[in-house]
Copies of this chain bind each other. A is one copy, B any other.
Amino acid sequence: MTRAPSVFSWAIDVASRTLRQWTSASMADLPGGPRGYFVLASVAQDRPRSQLALALQLGIDKTAMTYLLDELEVAGLVERRPDPADRRQRQIVLTPLGLHSLSEFGDRFEAAEDRLLSSLTSAESVAFREMLERVARSTRLVASPCAEEEEPPCP
């Protein structure tokens, strides 16, 4: 043997695909599946966002974002509103139904995440989540769904 081949890439690939499978299975009734949930969660950070901003944030191509929002809008979970300041852009806002779906599917997401991380202790899980979030944010120019806080500029 030359050297131990890197196991990290395999591990993150398997872990993310496993989580995606689990969440996809429990979200057959949410348009767009896990991706649809990410959009709802990001939009729920209150400030209306353009489609392009959402696409950059979630790492989805802007063309895919169009299809995703089509589905979510038809299902009545989001609305597209023309931005009065720049009529090229569309502000994406949550409907009451979308907000309800967010919390409902959020519960399923947390259950799947807890199951995935069940081999870690509570303390490890906290540290692991924090580090992974830092890693993910560092790969995006814009911020992630800015999580805990309510009204920050979401840097």
Residues of A at the B interface (CB closer than 8 Å) are: 1-20, 23, 34, 37-38, 40-41, 44, 46, 58-59, 99, 102-103, 106, 109-110, 112-113, 116-120, 124, 127-129, 131-140, 144-145, 147-148, 150
Contacts and interface: CB of A to CB of B under 8 A. Distances in A.
Given A44-B1, A128-B128, A147 B113 contact: no
A9 B30 CA distance: 16
Contacts of A34: 9, 13
Contacts of A37: 5, 9
20 contacts: A3-B106, A4-B147, A5-B145, A7-B133, A8-B129, A8-B132, A9-B109, A9-B113, A10-B136, A11-B132, A12-B12, A12-B15, A12-B16, A13-B19, A13-B20, A13-B34, A14-B58, A15-B16, A18-B59, A128-B131
A44 B129 CA distance: 32
Contacts of A112: 9
A22 to B, nearest CB: 9
A60 to B, nearest CB: 9
A109 B7 CA distance: 10
